[in-house]
């Protein structure tokens, strides 16, 4: 099948007509909606094979409204492919001068560290002429996107009390951050979310008309990313970060750990009698693989960078530098199983779950006549030896 035929089939699957696109009669709004969803890259790959000036014009027209960096790159890649097929890229319209509604001082931003599920709170507070404040509170997952979004008006006193209560009950501290950074994170989370009922872009119009910044973690002026021998030393001692309340809850969830717990139980119950050393080697291999899969390098690095900001802004600069050092290593040499912090999280978290699982199973099997090889070995080693008369 030719590239154009493949593209036509893909576009039909997405509800678009290749001929209408080539003629310039397709719905621009439908294309915009698809670019905001999970099929954005498939759409752009197909459009790059429809060599028509109307398609290039459409791509240029929708590019200005796209905020997701990956989608913008996809649009430019599709335009480049069209240019290789002899389709010129239309001149982009000049960007009109933005006229933001509020000035920077009208909006405040707040952010928490990430919790064990990769979620955090993002707050934007805009002063109102009445003396109160408009609160936009979002819960965002890295990398899953926006999980919850709430808006409402409140007094300054109530907002302060809410922050204090949150810290007391959950340990999550909302610290101040540049509102533009928080806004960009919420826009990014909106585009990543699978469900669109939490529409931050609609709510955003009550805050500002300014175009959003490129998304990225807030950076504290109190610290910097360690390099060289200092970075390596901080990574080597990174298990110390488990002493910080924010990192103490990063244990793998029972659901995420379940496949590895099942493998560990199979090793214990293996019909092939394994020496203790062999068992430990197999369990060690499972734990190392669990570390790689439970803590993906890019996702974990970003969570550490966001958490480092909160650590630094709450006076814990050494811990922040340690978190940044681990993040930097994961960005460049992502062998997560060799990072002491992550290895300790898996060993202690999965290990505790496994011990609890084994204890429950042992209690359930008390008095059973059918025993696993491991139970037979344990019973044999505890039975007193016989003596000849």
Residues 246 and 374 in one domain: yes
Last residue of a domain, one of 52, 84, 116: 84
Residue 210 inside a domain? The answer is: no
Residue 34 inside a domain? The answer is: yes
Residues 337 and 235 in one domain: yes
What pTM was estimated for this model as a whole?
A: 0.63
**Residue 58 in this model has a pLDDT that exceeds 90:** no
CB 110 within 8 A of CB 174: yes
Which pLDDT score is estimated for 276?
A: 66
Which pLDDT score is estimated for 277?
A: 72
Q: Mean pLDDT of all residues in the chain?
A: 83
Q: What is the pLDDT of residues 211-255, one digit of tens each?
A: 999 999 999 999 999 999 999 999 999 999 999 999 988 888 888
Residue 266 inside a domain? The answer is: yes
**Residue 56 in this model has a pLDDT that exceeds 70:** yes
Q: What is the pLDDT of residues 194-203, one digit of tens each?
A: 766 678 999 9
**Residue 130 in this model has a pLDDT that exceeds 90:** no
Last residue of a domain, one of 84, 119, 140: 84
Reduce the DSSP state of residue 140 to 3 states and report it: strand
Which pLDDT score is estimated for 104?
A: 42
Which pLDDT score is estimated for 67?
A: 79
Residue 181 inside a domain? The answer is: yes
Q: Kindly state the average pLDDT of the residues 310-332.
A: 94
Residue 272 inside a domain? The answer is: yes
Residues 20 and 50 in one domain: yes
Residues 7 and 146 in one domain: no
Residues 377 and 245 in one domain: yes
Residues 129 and 271 in one domain: no
Residue 213 inside a domain? The answer is: no
Which pLDDT score is estimated for 359?
A: 63
Q: Kindly state the average pLDDT of the residues 338-358.
A: 77
Long-range contact set of residues 197-204: C-beta below 8 Å, sequence gap at least 24: 198/138, 198/146, 198/147, 198/148, 198/149, 199/149, 200/136, 200/138, 200/146, 200/149, 203/136, 203/149, 203/151, 204/136
Which pLDDT score is estimated for 369?
A: 43
Q: Which of the two residues, 190 and 69, has the higher pLDDT score?
A: 190
Residue 268 inside a domain? The answer is: yes
Which pLDDT score is estimated for 371?
A: 45
CB 46 within 8 A of CB 80: no
Which pLDDT score is estimated for 98?
A: 46
Which pLDDT score is estimated for 99?
A: 47
Q: Are strands 145-154 and 119-127 parallel, antiparallel or unpaired?
A: unpaired
3-state secondary structure 63-129: HCCCCCHHHHHHHHHHHHHHHHCCCCCCCCCCCCCCCCCCCHHHEEEEECCCCCCCEEEEEEEEECC
Q: Could you tell me the residue range of the domain that residue 370 belongs to?
A: 228-381
**Residue 357 in this model has a pLDDT that exceeds 70:** no
Residue 191 inside a domain? The answer is: yes
In the chain, the number of structural domains is: 3
Residues 232 and 350 in one domain: yes
Residues 18 and 60 in one domain: yes
pLDDT confidence band for 103 (50 / 70 / 90): very low
Highest mean pLDDT among 58-67, 104-113, 116-125, 152-161: 116-125
Rounded (10°) angle between helices 69-84 and 40-47: 10
Residues 169 and 30 in one domain: no
Residues 252 and 374 in one domain: yes
Residues 168 and 278 in one domain: no
Residues 80 and 108 in one domain: no
């Amino acid at each position: 099948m030719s590239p154009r035929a493949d593209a036509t089939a893909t576009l039909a699957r997405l509800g678009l007509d290749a001929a209408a696109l080539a003629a310039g009669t397709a719905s621009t709004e439908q294309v915009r909606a698809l670019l905001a969803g999970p099929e954005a890259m498939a759409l752009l790959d197909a459009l790059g094979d429809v060599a028509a000036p109307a398609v290039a014009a459409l791509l240029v027209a929708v590019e200005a409204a796209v905020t997701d960096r990956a989608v913008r790159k996809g649009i430019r890649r599709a335009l480049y492919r069209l240019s290789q097929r002899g389709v010129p890229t239309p001149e982009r319209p000049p960007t009109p001068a933005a006229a933001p509604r509020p000035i920077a001082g009208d909006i405040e931003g707040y952010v928490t560290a990430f919790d064990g599920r990769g979620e955090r709170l993002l707050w934007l507070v805009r002063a109102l002429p009445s003396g109160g404040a408009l609160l936009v509170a979002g819960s965002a997952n890295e990398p899953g996107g926006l999980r919850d979004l709430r808006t409402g008006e409140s007094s300054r006193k109530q907002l302060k009390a809410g922050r204090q209560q949150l810290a007391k009950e959950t340990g999550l501290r909302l610290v101040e951050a540049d509102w533009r950074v928080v806004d960009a994170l919420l826009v990014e989370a909106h585009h990543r979310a699978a469900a669109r009922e939490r529409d931050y872009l609609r709510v955003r119009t009550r805050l500002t008309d300014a175009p959003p910044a490129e998304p990225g973690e807030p950076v504290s002026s109190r610290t910097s990313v360690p390099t060289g021998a200092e970075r390596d030393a901080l990574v080597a001692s990174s298990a110390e970060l488990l002493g910080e309340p924010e990192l103490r809850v990063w244990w793998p969830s029972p659901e995420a750990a379940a496949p590895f717990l099942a493998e560990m139980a199979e090793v214990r119950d293996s019909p092939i009698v394994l020496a203790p050393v062999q068992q430990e080697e197999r369990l060690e291999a499972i734990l190392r693989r669990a570390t790689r899969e439970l803590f993906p390098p890019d996702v974990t690095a970003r969570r550490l960078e966001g958490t480092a900001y909160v650590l630094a802004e709450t006076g814990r600069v050494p811990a922040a530098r340690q978190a940044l050092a681990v993040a930097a290593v994961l960005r460049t040499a992502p062998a997560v199983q060799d990072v002491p912090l992550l290895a300790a999280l898996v060993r202690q978290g999965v290990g505790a779950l496994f011990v609890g699982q084994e204890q429950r199973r042992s209690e359930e099997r008390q008095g059973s006549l059918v025993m696993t090889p491991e139970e037979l070995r344990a019973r044999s080693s505890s039975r007193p030896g016989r003596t000849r008369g």
